[in-house]
Amino acid sequence: MSEHADPRRMPVEISALVTDRTNSMGQTDFKPSRLACAQQAAVEFIKRKRFVDIRDRTCILGFNISAEVVSGFGKHPVEVQRDLLALTARESTNITAALQLALEVVLEEAKGQRTLTLRAVLLSDGEHNTGPSPVADGVLERLRKAGIVVDTVGIGHAGEDLLQAIAAATGGSFVRIADYSTLLDHYWRLAAKRALTPRIGR
């Protein structure tokens, strides 16, 4: 977004924040834990969105061996923070399931509306190790055809090649984050508007 652009003149954004909740997210190199920092970053994203453009809508998904909606679209940051308390770090990593659910919920929220920007932000600290890979499954191509841009965020030291591939396949960005303050700052920047991505069709 241009520094001087009026966000209210840009398309409404529908975003899914996709948060890793696997065993390794309980590690404490990010204080008090990787998962706690990811939870707070998601809340800060939604707080920022309310200032950028109140029309924008965001949900939060969590994933380990499967994926689920943790906090639905349109909730106040206080409600979101309460919903996120239910997340615990356990089990292994199925990034394909996370991306498939992001595709489904974003398209469902966008149904019947023409001029929208569709996004997902995927945060993970590990390698995909459960079920077919996103590349083999075809979910990256489905996201691309739907016009859903996926920005990926890596914390820890694993999974970087796949996160880069996901971002590249969908027109998104990849960033490796080394500490909590940088993570919050990055999510604050991600909450800014993106240029409209043409929807190719499902």
**Assigned domain for 200 exists:** no
Phi and psi, residue 78, nearest 5° = -65, -40
Mean pLDDT of 187-193: 95
Q: Which two tokens mark 171?
A: 């027109």
Domain count, the chain: 1
**Assigned domain for 88 exists:** yes
DSSP 63-94: ESSSEEEEE-TT--HHHHHHHHTT----S---
**Assigned domain for 77 exists:** yes
pLDDT (0 to 100) of residue 1: 47
pLDDT (0 to 100) of residue 200: 55
**Tens digit of each residue's pLDDT (9 = 90 or more) over 43-72:** 999 999 999 999 999 999 999 999 999 999
pTM check: above 0.85? yes
Alpha-carbon Rg for the chain in angstroms: 15
CATH number of the domain that residue 78 is part of: 3.40.50.410
Band of residue 115 on the pLDDT scale cut at 50, 70, 90: confident
**Tens digit of each residue's pLDDT (9 = 90 or more) over 84-101:** 988 999 999 999 999 999
**Assigned domain for 104 exists:** yes
Band of residue 128 on the pLDDT scale cut at 50, 70, 90: very high
Mean pLDDT of 98-118: 95
Query: How do strand 116-124 and strand 174-176 relate by DSSP bridges?
Result: unpaired
**Assigned domain for 202 exists:** no
**Assigned domain for 201 exists:** no
Domain range for residue 50?
Answer: 10-190
Band of residue 2 on the pLDDT scale cut at 50, 70, 90: very low
pLDDT (0 to 100) of residue 126: 86
**Residues 114, 123: Cα–Cα separation, whole Å:** 28
Whole-number average pLDDT of the chain: 92
Band of residue 6 on the pLDDT scale cut at 50, 70, 90: low
**Residues 158, 48: Cα–Cα separation, whole Å:** 29
**Assigned domain for 57 exists:** yes
| pLDDT at position 202 over 60 | no
**Assigned domain for 199 exists:** no
**Residues 60, 74: Cα–Cα separation, whole Å:** 11
